[in-house]
Amino acid sequence: MVKTITIKTEVYEKLRKVKMPKESFSELFERLLESMSPVVMMKRMRGSVVWKDKEKLLADIRAKRAGRRFA
């Protein structure tokens, strides 16, 4: 299965520079993700993602958390 993601041009250029010749971006992501702890990975990704509707996403998360607490 293939998924499409959107990243900033600056992030794309950084990834392109660390990608090995003939390595796909999927292979690059796997290599990078396997080489660091999840906490370090999330800290490094901070600021790299642009949310289209951040407030709606946060509201959905809060609602789901509240639903779990009272269920």
Q: Is residue 42 part of a domain?
A: yes
Q: Is residue 62 part of a domain?
A: yes
Please report which confidence band the pLDDT of residue 3 belongs to, taking 50, 70 and 90 as the band edges: confident
Q: Is residue 1 part of a domain?
A: no
Q: What is the pLDDT of residue 26?
A: 93
Q: Is residue 38 part of a domain?
A: yes
Predicted TM-score (pTM) above 0.85: no
Domain that holds residue 55: 9-69
Contact by Cβ (8 Å): 34, 42? no
What value does the mean pLDDT take over residues 47-68? 83
Q: Is residue 27 part of a domain?
A: yes
Q: How many domains does the chain have?
A: 1
Q: Is residue 37 part of a domain?
A: yes
The CA distances from residue 1 to 50, 56, 64, in Å, are: 23, 27, 28
Query: Tokens for 35?
Result: 């080489």
Q: Identity (one letter) of the amino acid at 2?
A: V
CA distance 47 to 7: 11
Q: Is residue 4 part of a domain?
A: no
Q: What is the pLDDT of residue 71?
A: 56
Q: Is residue 2 part of a domain?
A: no
